[in-house]
Amino acid sequence: MVEQNLEDKARRVRIAVFDVDGVMTDGTLYLDDDGRELKGFNSLDGHGLKMLAASGVMLAILTGRTSRCVEHRAANLGITLVRQGVEDKLECFAAMLADLGLEPAEAAYMGDDVVDLPVLRRCGLAVTVPEGHELVRRHAHYITRAGGGRGAVREACEFIMRAQGTLDARMEKYLA
């Protein structure tokens, strides 16, 4: 019964919103001698995001930090809805949905820390990683098996596509 409810939540998703540090990355922040920030992104996650977008689900990034490498990664993935340096994630999330004419139940959000809780508690599908804060894991609908920056985003994307019946079509072109 719980699994069916989870799949129902995933079926309704029209936009998937992702935090960066700890979700799209393992949370490690690399700073070079000039203070420039570097992040390690997973290529499997990137392809999962591209497949999810190709299946008709909009993508967005919502993060509290500001980093040029996030801009570059988003551009590489074709994600145009990017909000960085956000202090109030819930306010930004609500405005984003209002601009798109979407309801919270139509949104998935993937975050890992307590600053993500307000959005995770209001979105339709709340996803986190195994390393997520205990409170976040407690309020998540789905906890990935893979870690942040280690395939968790791909797992979440495929879960949504599987629930929406689009995963097989995405994979079929690789099996032809």
Task: Examine the pLDDT at 99 and tell me if it is beyond 60.
Answer: yes
Supply 18's token pair.
């992702």
End-to-end CA distance of the chain: 35
Task: Examine the pLDDT at 140 and tell me if it is beyond 50.
Answer: yes
Report how far residue 40's alpha carbon sits from residue 47's, in angstroms, rounded to the nearest whole number.
Answer: 15
Task: Examine the pLDDT at 4 and tell me if it is beyond 90.
Answer: no
Mean pLDDT of 36-43: 94
In this prediction, what percent of the chain has a pLDDT beyond 90?
A: 94
- What is the pLDDT at residue 176? 80
* CA angle 110–51–153, rounded 5-degree value: 25
- What is the pLDDT at residue 146? 98
- What is the pLDDT at residue 1? 39
| DSSP β-bridge partners for residue 104 | none
User: In the predicted model, what is the mean pLDDT of the chain?
Assistant: 96
Q: List, for residues 74-87, the tens digit of each pLDDT value.
A: 999 999 999 999 99
- CB-based contacts of 45: which residues, under 8 Å, 6+ apart? 24, 149, 151, 152, 153, 154, 157
- CB-based contacts of 107: which residues, under 8 Å, 6+ apart? 13, 14, 15, 16, 17, 93, 97, 123, 124, 125
Backbone angles phi, psi at 170, to 5 degrees: -65, -40
- What is the pLDDT at residue 3? 56
Specify burial of residue 176 (Cβ count, 10 A radius: 0-12, 13-18, 19+): exposed
Mean pLDDT of 96-120: 98
Q: List, for residues 143-159, the tens digit of each pLDDT value.
A: 999 999 999 999 999 99
Task: Examine the pLDDT at 173 and tell me if it is beyond 90.
Answer: no
Mean pLDDT of 106-117: 98
Task: Examine the pLDDT at 161 and tell me if it is beyond 60.
Answer: yes
Report how far residue 126's alpha carbon sits from residue 99's, in angstroms, rounded to the nearest whole number.
Answer: 21
Q: What is the set of domains in the chain, with CATH numbers?
A: 2-170 (3.40.50.1000)
